[in-house]
Amino acid sequence: MPHSHGSQGCCAYHRSHLTRHYKEPVIATTSAFTEGASVFGGLANMTQALSNIFSIYNPEIVAVHTTCLSEVIGDDIPMMIKKAQDEGIIPPGKTVIHANTPSFVGSHITGFANMTTAMVRYFAQRTTNAKNQINLIPGFVDPADMRELKRIAHEMGVKLVMFPDTSDVLDLPQTGVYHMYPKGGTTSAALKSTGDSLATLALGYFSAHPAAVELDEKCNVPCAFLEMPIGLTQTDRLIHALRNYAGVDVPASLNYERGRLLDVMSDMHQYFHGKRVAVAGDPDNVISLVQFLTELDMKPVYVITGSPGNHFESRVRELLKEQAPDAKIKQNADLFDLHQWIKNGPVDLLIGNSYCKHIARAENLPFVRFGFPVLDRMSHRLFPTVGYTGALRLLDKIIDALLDKQDRECPDEWFELVQ
């Protein structure tokens, strides 16, 4: 059970935002701060909340994340958890974990990384019973992406422990039966076993690498620090890492998937070559997407993220040093910056989350929705963007956006059945 230690408004906002993206009800509880908690601290609210949560909802784990208010007043969450345990408010066999996630530090990616690291801190254990499995930290991606990553590993015969895992949690089928705790996700037993795994593959500098570092320091599990497997090269690197650490061969089925992607990339090359692209989104997703766009011979000339971190600018600049050396790249940026750049130097394509639609409308740009949040479309949570299959999906969306605009605006004499 996720628990927001702060006011009801904070909890309501993030629940509504996640629900609009995933198109599934996102549950969470709250400490429901009022003026009294703001002055005297949130201990009483946390104690009452934990008592209510375990008596009403009976979860195995409560994951506490802080808000601005609880951080500003300096609430000591570990102390509160220990006090609740000492007083018997947390039943035997139940666990309460926490992560510090105020909105004035970093971004939602920082909070995601902090909570993923907390999973390692509270659960991972090193024993003498080594396990023939690989830990995979997927980064901040959709349920379909997590399912695709598991499918790739299954094709290779690799046993995974993926955390977090929102597949079969935030993309449930409609069966007519409500389950507060769906069958998907990662079990606490699996999390504990991560300390005995062969290795950890962390997909994303910002969202996944911190948890891998924590696991290495705590349990001495070797780490492979990868980037998100979006596009050809990054998917190759993931499969190469799985093969090396698990000691398996790459099956013919994945080679065929890779070949189909290469075939489509070559078939579509004439439509992509030299196109100027503006990209906005979460840093790990954008870094890998930029590399994929360069593989298509496109030119990402404007690249921004709302998250802080100089690694973003240096890594994107490295990727674009030959294809777009004069590209404008900015971390901790906003869409106003991007819009002004586009006004001064138009692009052929815009890729980003739903908030970019205002720029696309104002500048009449082909627009591909990508990343988080996507609030005004439905299928993003059902189809992956990672792996060879996800790359094909991205290619399809990009080519449709470009050719739809061409068909819509070209003169009648150039309105061809086949472009």
- pLDDT tens for 401-416 read 999 999 999 888 888 8
Mean pLDDT in residue range 174-188: 91
What 3-state DSSP class applies to 350?
strand
Residue type, 366: P
Please write the tens of the pLDDT for every residue from 7-23: 999 999 999 999 999 99
- What's the rounded Cα separation, in Å, for the pair 46 and 73? 14
Could you write out the DSSP letters of every residue in 52-103? HHHHHT--SEEEEEE-HHHHHTT--HHHHHHHHHHTT-S-TT-EEEEE---T
Is residue 200 over pLDDT 80? yes
Q: Inform me whether the pLDDT recorded for 38 exceeds 90.
A: no
Q: Which of 72, 105, 248, 410 is catalytic?
A: 72
- Residue 261 is predicted with a pLDDT of 98
- Which tokens in the block code for residue 398? 């990009």
Residue that the structure tokens 């909070």 belong to: 111
pLDDT at 262: 97
Domains delineated in the chain: 2-105 (3.40.50.1980), 134-249 (3.40.50.1980), 256-413 (3.40.50.1980)
Q: Rounded CA gap, 329 and 346, in Å?
A: 16
Which residue in 272, 275, 304 sits closest to 371, CA to CA?
304
Catalytic residue among 10, 11, 39, 68: 68
Q: Is 10 a catalytic residue?
A: no
Is residue 68 part of the annotated active site? The answer reads: yes
The rounded distance, in Å, linking the Cα atoms of 328 and 215 is 36
Mean pLDDT of 127-137: 96
What's the pLDDT score for residue 414? Answer: 83
Residue with tokens 């597949």: 167
CA distance 364 to 340: 14
User: What is the token pair recorded at 91?
Assistant: 């039943």
Q: How confident is the model at residue 41 (pLDDT cuts 50, 70, 90)?
A: confident
- Calpha distance 335→358 (Å, rounded): 10
pLDDT tens, 208-225?
A: 999 999 999 999 999 999
pLDDT of residue 207: 97
Tokens of 4: 């927001």
4 contacts 14 by C-beta, under 8 angstroms: yes
Dump pLDDT digits (tens) for 328-376. 999 999 999 999 999 999 999 999 999 999 999 999 999 999 999 999 9
pLDDT digits (tens, 9 = 90+) for 320-329: 999 999 999 9
The answer to whether the beta carbons of residues 281 and 353 sit under 8 Å apart is yes
For the segment 251-280, the average pLDDT, to the nearest whole number, is 97
